[in-house]
Every structure is written in structure tokens, then in C-alpha cells.
Amino acid sequence: MGILEVKGVNKRFGGLQALGDVNLSVRENTVHAIIGPNGAGKSTLLNCLVGKLIPDTGSVMFDGQSVLGRQPHEINQMGISRVFQTPEIFGDLTVMENMMIPIFAKRDGAFRMHAVGNMMSEKGIVEAAEKMLVDMNMADKRDMHTASMSRGDKRRLEIGMCLAQEPKLLLLDEPTAGMARADTNNTIDLLKQIKEERDITIAIIEHDMHVVFSLADRITVLAQGTPLVEDDPQNIKGNPKVREAYLGETA
Amino acid sequence: MLGLNKKDTTLLLVVAILTLCAPFILNPFPEGSALAQFNAGYPDLMQRFVIFGIFAIGFNILFGLTGYLSFGHAAFLGVGSYSAVWMFKLLSMNVIPAIILSMIVSGLFAVVIGFVSLRRSGIYFSILTLAFAQMSFNLAYSVLTPITNGETGLQLTLNDPRILGMSATADGSIPVTSLFGLEMRSTYQMEVGAWLFQFNAGYYLCAAIMLLAFYLAIRIFRSPFGMMLRAVKSNQQRMRYTGLNPRPYTLAAFVISGMYAGLAGGLMASMDPLAGAERMQWTASGEVVLMTILGGAGTLIGPVLGAGFIKYFENIFSKINDNVLHSWFSFLPDGLEDFIVTIVHPFIGKGWHLTLGILFMLVVIFLPGGLVEGGQRIARLFRGKKTANTSKTKTEPAE
Amino acid sequence: MDAIILQILNGLDKGSAYALIALGLTLIFGTLGVVNFAHGALFMIGSFCAVTLSKILNLSYEVVDPTKKDFLGNPLKVKMPYVESWFGTDMGAAIIDWSVPLAILFSIPVMICIGFIMERGLIKHFYKRPHADQILVTFGLAIVLQEIIKYFYGANPIPTPAPAVFKGSFDFGVILGFDPNTIIYPYWRLVYFGFAALIIGAVFAFLQFTTFGMVVRAGMADRETVGLLGINIDKRFTIMFGLAAAVAGLAGVMYAPINSPNYHMGMDFLVLSFVVVVVGGMGSLPGAVAAGFLLGVLESFASMNQIKSLIPGIDQIIIYLVAIIILLTRPRGLMGRKGVMED
């Protein structure tokens, strides 16, 4: 029984069957990669997991509870954090403020009015945010405005913000898309480090095989909206079906 | 001090000193001198400065922090005025219950309007708030006449059933508004040489309330709640995927700023107990937007500056007429004098709105950060280029 | 039944004005991506084009009329419009009488010029700025335009009559087989409706059947792609803005006899036209037109005495109420497309 159980999920957009009978099980404390060629339905599947889309049929269970019909912020509160393809951070705020927000959210839930308190005097919050910045190797950028940072730094901050919530499941949507080689390697190292140091389950959608095979414990291959195979990385490499559907042109 | 950091405390103190000494500061020219027309130190105008200051501070909590541009904030001002006048009619001439009621009623109003309008964002939100305000305005003019007294406006009469207090004074006139007996219109006049300084009870009440409102706004700006509001403006998507629901935050900001507007309306009625529907018109909503933008949206002091600036120049410009212009330009040769007067004529007197519109466009086009940004640019020029580069990266978004 | 037809007819002229303004607003949204708060001012300027032309035509000099005497027995001075002295009394009087329809010819170049100047001089620089800035700057412009008009024409409404031929009313009831005098409808309103229908048809035909229109429609569907095709979008934007301004102006010219032009009519109509656009669906031209007529008719139904006595004040708020309900139940409006102004 995995922490995330997707059963029989279907999603149609007009005449297009984006997802057809998807079954997926992500086991706790593993890195599970979902790969597939363009248009395989990876993003649709991800959007169904975080509440942005609602599947036509099927069930998505997280930690024993259904996520279907819940708002994105409620699903997040259940313990799923999402890293976006293009880093989504608070561009007008400083790095420190960016880091404080998820910690407030973790402590207070979806909404609480601290209308007259001084945020910098919230002792536990400031400390936690500073610790997270150190963990992310960003302590020197504490008071910087995020708009002027490099893409790699933005990605690092976004991952840090997600971890600051101490999620049970971290969803990564092509975390290295559009990155230079050096930034990609940094991100891989960061994710490896996270995997080793924290009790966390990671689901990653990725295009870059280098990233997938350096991180994943388990791989699901999607093709035309249906899972083709689910197996360990070494078996995936040799699977002829996968070669045909996806690796065919790259391997 | 008071839970503020050093910079904010200084700002609050400066504003406090300026408002408390306003009767002196705004009256720099001796009575009867040619420049006396530029004085602003009389009660009516000073009251308007601080009341519109409150209005703009409140508007800025919504627009400056969350970026939601409301075009219907005057509705709350109007509602506040009506509630206050009704309190004078029914309960007592004391301003405290009137002000409290105006805040409560406008707050409730804001909850309803905000709940509906905030379901949409961006331009849709602006249009929804505009529609609500126009709707309130139309209702106040027509079917709600029993409550609003329609076109005439709501006024005190000699037979108001005032529970605490009398319907009419002994000499048969309508009683005046007061704070536990201290009449709002009472003014202490101090003559110093050629100068005449006026200290008005109503102004000082408004000023004290404005300082309180300003202090509260600083606290909100610096609070975790204020940070969440800036997060709403910055990236709602990330907010939702961080487990936060943006809507209660925006609604809270909307209600707070609606209550500020109601407070301003209540104070307006406390200074002069009448309320008319024209206070709710879209032009009035536009005016508070103007004040906030002109001063600098998202900054603490900007809205106050903007409100003072607009109300001061409105007053000055409305007073200038062609005779005044002729006397100013009399040093020029006749033809040129007439020419300049003709050019300037459309912008003065009743043409104040034209000047205001042009000013507004210029600010949006060239100085989106308003007067505060203008001030910072000038300060940077003086400090030289080297500091300019470092200060650019470190500018606080909200100061 | 006759009462219902009467209300539908009554709603048509206002609905036509809403539809025309909303059409221009939508064109500007859709192609330029700009929210134009000054669009109502263009409608108002159109109305004042009619006023101006009628004033120009009425320019006159004084002549002594030997046939008439005032009460003291002196010869009476009468005003003689220049047009009458140039074209003869009958022809001149007819020209003056027809000043509103003639103003159409006068207003088209004026409005297109104003549109070009506005787009080139101001709006162009705001394509990449946030919507809030666009709203604010066009709002400022609206104030300026209306104050300029106020400066030159004063604050009072200026009655601008329709040609005498159209002054009467038309007994619609008889044609439809009802009793006489049940459905009376002023001729000019009929003219206005027909005129509006013509303009709307022309705009749609222009967009449907010309290459220019095709590019514009493609641009409304996907702005970025059209830009990438290397089509000179800038020039087309300017023309589009001029066209939208002309449509608003024409709506204003012909509306002058129905509602005596005053300087604040622009904003009054703008607020309602925005509501119309929102109800119709941001970015949908048919939506704007349909919602314009729909709301016009609804408004006139709500002002029926039977309905007003049922729900007092409903005539004042019906449009806003409908808009609020539509926005809450169908956030994209009646015919709105996904993704328009939704960032």
C-alpha cells in the first residue's frame, strides 16, 4: 500500500482522452519518477493530484484519504507540496519572507489574521526560516529580492519553501527544465541530499533521462495517457516496450 | 516604540508632529498679506486633509498590499456618513457612537460586497466594485429615499427623536455635534502679530483618529498578515500551493479598508452632520484612487501625502480666478499677460478637475510610484550615483 | 402582450447604444489587450460632434427684416444663418434641420483622428504595463476629455433635435394588429436602432470578409502567434483603435437627439457598457452585442410600473444585479472564451 494511490483515473478534454485508466502507486520514502514522451499525459496526471483538475472517473488517495474535490490549498495542507516547471515564488518579496510564508502556513493553516503582530519578532518562525535557508545554502541571500535571482537559485528557493512545510510527498514537475548543465547537476545533488537526509517521498515528472536515472528508485512510463510499465530503473532501461515508446529515439 | 522598528517610529512621530502643529505649519503667511490665500490652516480644510488621509490610508491597505483595484470605495464612505447622521438623529449628538456605528455598518457592507467581488480578480474585480458602488448610488438616490432623503441629502431637523439629548436647543436651533460636550465646531483662535492661528476641536479629534489609523496601518504593513497580502499580490498560485487560501486574506483586507472608508465618512458627518448620495459616486471613488497613486501606492506615507496634496491644491486652484492671475502676471507686457492668463484659465477655478486629470495621467505615465518615488529619486540624485546603485537592490517594498 | 412589445421596443434604443459602445470596448480588449476607461468619453465626444455641427450650421449674422416691426415700431433685426444665405432659405433650413445625420459625415474623420492620436500618443505605451495602470491612465484621460468638453460647452445638457421628419411617433400597434395608440414609438428611436444594426453589421462584415479583419480575428484568438508571423501588428492596432473610436463616436452622434448631450454622459454609459461587456463575455464580439440589447430590454422591462410596484427600485439596479449574478454563476459571461484577462 503506497502513500499515494491512483486508481482507474480517466480524464477527457473534449474528444481527447488525456488519461486512460491510470493506476499508480507511490511507496513511502522512495523517489518515484513518471516519464513519457510529450503529450503522454504527465502534466494532466500531476494536475489531477494537486486539485487543479478533477478526473472524470477513478480515485486518488493520499495517506488513506481521497484528494478529489478538494481545493489546491487543502490538498497542500494534507501534505503534498508541488514544485513547478517554471519556479513559482513570491517575486516581490525577499528570500527570507518567501521562506517564512510556508512556515506560517504550516503552523497556522489556510488562514489566520496576525494583523498587528510584527513578523520579524515571531521567534520560532524566523529561526525555522533561517535554518531552512542555511540548509538550502542560501543564507547569504537572505534579504535579496527574488526577482533578480538566477533560475537555479529560484528553483533552490522553491524547493526549500516546499520542504519548509515538511510535506509527506514532494511533487516535482520537470525541475530541471530549461536549466544549464551546471544548474541541473546542482539540482540533482540537492535532491539526492534531500532524499538521504529527510523522511520524504518524492514523485518526479521528468524529461531528462540523466536526472531520472540518477534519482529514481522506481519508474512509471506513461504513453498516450496510459501507464505502459512500472518497474525499477535497471529493468526500465532494458524493456523493449519502453524503448519503442520513448527511449527509442534517444537511447 | 509601540511595537514598531526605529524607522517606522520616526515616521509615525514626524507625522504626529506635523498633524498636531498643522494650524501653525499650514498658516505661514500673515493675515491680509497677498500670500494669505495660500494658507491652509483653517479648520474646514485641515479636517478634510486628515479625513481623506484616513480614507486613502485604508484604500492603500487593499490596493497597495494586495493589488486589488477597487473602483467603488466611495460607497463605504457614503454608507459611513449616512449611518453617522442617523445616529445623530436617533441617539445623541455625541460623535463616538456615530463613528462606531459608521464603521460597523460599512464593515458589514464591505463583507457582502467583498464576498461577491473577490470571487473574481483583476479587471473583473474593478468592474464589479464599480457596479456595486453605482448600484448603491442609484439606490440612495431613488428607492432608499426614506433612509437617505434622496437628492436633498440626509440632514438633521428640529424634530429628530434624539433619545439621549434634546431635539432642539433652548433657543430653537438644531444641536451641534460634540465629544462629551466638547463642541466639534469650537475653535480657539490665537493671534500672534499679524498671524491668526485656529485650533479646532473637530480637527484635533480627526487628527488623533488619523494618527491611530496610521499607526494601525503601519502595524498591518509590518505584520505577518501584511506579508500574506503582499504574497497575494505577488503570486496567488504559489500561495495556494503553500496551503494558504488567498480569499479570506483579501476579504479581510477589503473589509478593513472598507471600515477605514466608513470611519472617514463617519468623521465627515461628525464635522458637518449631513450626508448626500454624491459622496458615493464613481468620481469620489476615483478621487481616492488618485490620492493613493499620486502619493505612492504600497508606501506608508504616500496616501497621506496624496490626500493632502490633492485637497490643498483643490482648495487653492478653486480660489484662483482671472483677476488673481492678472495680478500675478502684471509684470509682463500687456499682450503677453493676457495670453498667459488665457492659457492658464482653463486649469483654475472650476477647471481644477482638468488639472487633476492631467496630473493623474502624468503620474501614471512617468512616476508610477507616486510622490514617494519622486522624492526617493531626488534624494538619490543628491546622494550621488554610487549609493543609488546599492539602494536600488535594497529598497524596501513597503515604506 | 402589447405592453411587452412596447417594452422590448423601448429597450432597443438604449440597448443599441450599449451594444455599440461594448462592441468598441471588446474590439480594443481583444486586439490590443487594453482596458479602455476612456471609451465612454469617445461616445460623449461623438454626441458633441453633433452639437458642434449644429452650432456651426446655426452661425448667423443679423439682418433687418423690413416686413416685421417690433412693438415700438422699429424695424426688427432677425438672425440669418450663413448657410441660409449661401444655399437659399429652403435648402439652408433643411441643412440645419438635418444637422444630426450630417454630423455622421463630420464625426467619422474627427473620431478616427482622435482614436489615432490616443493610440499613438498614449495607449501604445501601455501595452506592456499591468492592467491596473491601463485602467488608471485611461481613467485619467476620461476625466481630462470630459473636463475639456465641459470647458467649451458648459455643464448643462444641450438639446440637439432630430430632423423634423422624425419628430413624430409611429403607431406600431396598428401594424401588428393591436388597437391604435397602444404601441407608440418615436421615429427617431427606430432610426437609431436601424442605424446601430447597420453599424454592427458593417463591423462584423469587415471582420469577416476582409483580410484585415481576418488578421484581427486571428489576433483576438491568439495575439502572440500573430505577432510571431511577422504581420505588422502595430499599424493594425492603430487602425483598430480608430475604428473602435469611430463606432463609439457614431453611437454618440445619433444618440444626441435621444439624450441631450452633457459632459458626464460618457462615464454614465461607460459603467453600464463595462457591465455589458462582462455579461457578454470579455473578448466576445457577439456576446457584447447580444448582452447590450439584452440588458437594454431588461432595463426597460424593469421600469414598467407593474414590476416596479412589485420590487421597488428594481429599474435602478437590474443591470448591476444581472451582472453580479452572471459573474458568479458563469464567470466568463454568456459567450466568453477561456483565458481572456484572467491573469
Positive or negative: CA dihedral C30, C35, C36, C40: positive
Compute the distance between CA of residue B48 and CA of residue B52 in angstroms, rounded to an integer. Answer: 6
CB atoms B144 and C313 under 8 Å: yes
Question: What digits encode the pLDDT tens for the residues C101-114?
Answer: 888 988 999 999 99
Per residue in B105-146, pLDDT (tens digit) is 999 999 999 998 998 888 888 888 988 888 898 888 888 888
**What CA–CA distance (Å, rounded) separates B86 from B99?**
11
How confident is the model at residue A78, as a pLDDT? 92
What's the pLDDT tens digit per position in A82-101?
A: 999 888 999 889 999 999 99
Name residues whose C-beta falls within 8 Å of residue B121's C-beta, 6 or more positions apart in sequence: B68, B236
Where is mean pLDDT largest: A106-115, B30-39, C76-85? A106-115
Q: Indicate the length of chain A as a whole number.
A: 251
Bridge partners of A172? A83, A204
Half-sphere exposure of C89 (CA within 13 A, CB side): 2
Q: Which grid cell is C227? A: 505577432
| DSSP codes, A96-164 | HHHHHHHHHHHHH-S-----SS-GGG-HHHHHHHHHHHHHTT-GGGTT-BGGGS-HHHHHHHHHHHHHH
Tell me the shortest Cα–Cα distance from C298 to chain B, in angstroms: 16
Using alpha carbons only, what angle is made at residue C184 by residues C179 and C188, rounded to the nearest 5 degrees?
150
How many CB atoms lie under 10 A from the CB of residue C293?
22
What are the distances in angstroms from CA C198 to CA A153, B268, C15, C195, C290? 58, 51, 14, 5, 15
Q: What is the pLDDT of residue B390?
A: 45
Tell whether the model's pLDDT for residue C126 goes beyond 80.
yes
Contacts of B142 in chain C (CB under 8 A): 313, 316
Say whether pLDDT at B35 is over 80.
no
Name which residue leads in pLDDT, B232 or B322: B232
Residues of chain B with Cβ-Cβ distance to A126 below 8 Å are none
Q: Could you tell me which residues are beta bridge partners of residue A223?
A: A226
| Averaged pLDDT of chain B | 87
What's chain C's Rg over C-alpha atoms? 22
**pLDDT tier, C162 (very low <50, low <70, confident <90, very high otherwise):** confident
Q: Which residues contact A128 (CB under 8 A, 6 or more apart)?
A: A103, A164
Contact C147 B364 (CB under 8 A): no
Residue B235: all three cell numbers together: 503570486
Question: Would you place residue A163 in the very low, low, confident or very high pLDDT band (cuts 50, 70, 90)?
Answer: very high
Looking at residue A24, the DSSP 8-state letter turns out to be E
Strands A218-223 and A226-231: antiparallel
Which tens digit of pLDDT belongs to each residue from C26-44?
Answer: 888 877 888 888 999 999 9
Ordered domains of chain A (ranges, CATH): 4-79+167-249 (3.40.50.300)
In this complex, the chains that touch C, judged by 3 or more CB pairs closer than 8 A, are B
> Strand, coil or helix: what is C111?
helix
Looking at A183-192, C88-97, C168-177, which range is the least confident one?
C168-177
List strands edge to edge, sheet with A65-66.
Answer: A16-26, A4-13, A57-62, A65-66
* Distance separating alpha carbons of residues C21 and C244, to the nearest angstrom: 8
Enumerate domains of chain B plus CATH numbers: 6-281 (1.10.3470)
Q: How confident is the model at residue C223 (pLDDT cuts 50, 70, 90)?
A: low
- Give the pLDDT mean for C64-80: 74
C324 touches chain B (CB under 8 A): yes
Q: Give the mean pLDDT of chain A.
A: 87
Residue C136 pLDDT: 87
Residues sharing a CB contact under 8 Å with residue C67, sequence separation 6 or more, in sequence order: none
Q: List B183's β-bridge partners, or say none.
A: B178
Give the angle B281-B283-B289 at the CA atoms, nearest 5°: 115
Q: In terms of Cα–Cα distance, which of A122, A127, A155 is closest to A139?
A: A127
**Mean pLDDT of the A139-162 span:** 89
Outline where DSSP puts E strands in chain C: 60-69, 75-81, 169-171, 184-186
Which residues of chain B make contact with A76, given a CB cutoff of 8 A?
A: 240-243
Interchain CB contact of C334 with B (< 8 Å): no
pTM of the shown model: 0.88
CB A77 within 8 A of CB A109: yes
pLDDT of C343 > 70? The answer is no
Supply the mean pLDDT for chain C: 83
Higher pLDDT, B1 or A138: A138
Of the listed ranges B214-218, B364-368, C83-87, C262-266, the least confidently predicted one is C83-87
pLDDT at residue number C227: 66
Partners of B141 on chain C (C-beta within 8 Å) are 316
> Tens digits of per-residue pLDDT, C303-333?
887 777 777 778 878 888 888 888 778 877 7
Tell me whether A116 touches chain B (CB under 8 Å). yes
**Cβ contacts (< 8 Å) between A84 and chain B: which residues?**
237, 241
CB C273 within 8 A of CB C22: yes
The burial of B139, by beta-carbon neighbours within 10 Å (0-12 exposed, 13-18 middle, 19 or more buried), is given as: buried
Q: What is the mean predicted confidence (pLDDT) over B145-169?
A: 84
Residue pLDDT, tens place only, B322-344:
777 777 777 878 888 888 888 88
Q: Which helix (H) or strand (E) holds B190?
A: strand B187-192
Q: For chain C, give every domain's residue range.
A: 2-58+99-329
pLDDT band for B239, please (50, 70, 90 cuts): very high
CA distance B304 to B53: 5
Q: In which element (H, E) is residue B379 found?
A: helix B370-383
> Which of B87-96, B275-284, C190-199 has the lowest average pLDDT?
B275-284
Query: From C129, which residue of chain B is nearest by alpha-carbon distance?
Result: B365
Range list of β-strands (E), chain A? 4-13, 16-26, 31-35, 57-62, 65-66, 80-83, 169-173, 201-205, 218-223, 226-231
Q: Which of B130, B354, B365 sits opposite C147 (nearest CB)?
A: B354
More confident residue, C86 or B48: B48
**What pLDDT is attached to residue C45?**
94
- pLDDT of the residue at C1: 67
Q: Report the chain B residue with the minimal C-alpha distance to residue A78.
A: B243
Residue-level pLDDT at B399: 38
* Residue of B60, B65, B115, B123 best to disrupt the C interface, most CBs of C under 10 A: B123
pLDDT of A235 over the 60 cut: yes
Please check whether residue B185 is in contact with residue B200, taking contact to mean a CB–CB distance below 8 angstroms: yes
Residue C246 confidence (pLDDT) above 90:
yes
Out of B220, B231, B242, the one facing A115 most closely (by C-beta) is: B220
The alpha-carbon gap from B254 to the nearest alpha carbon of chain A, in Å, equals: 13
pLDDT of residue B393: 41
Per CATH, domain C2-58+99-329 is 2.60.40 = no
ipTM for this model = 0.90
Residue B394 has pLDDT above 70, yes or no: no
Residue B211 touches chain C, beta carbons under 8 Å: no
Instruction: Give the tens place of pLDDT for each residue, B7-21.
Output: 889 999 999 999 988
Tell me, what's the pLDDT at B1? Answer: 60
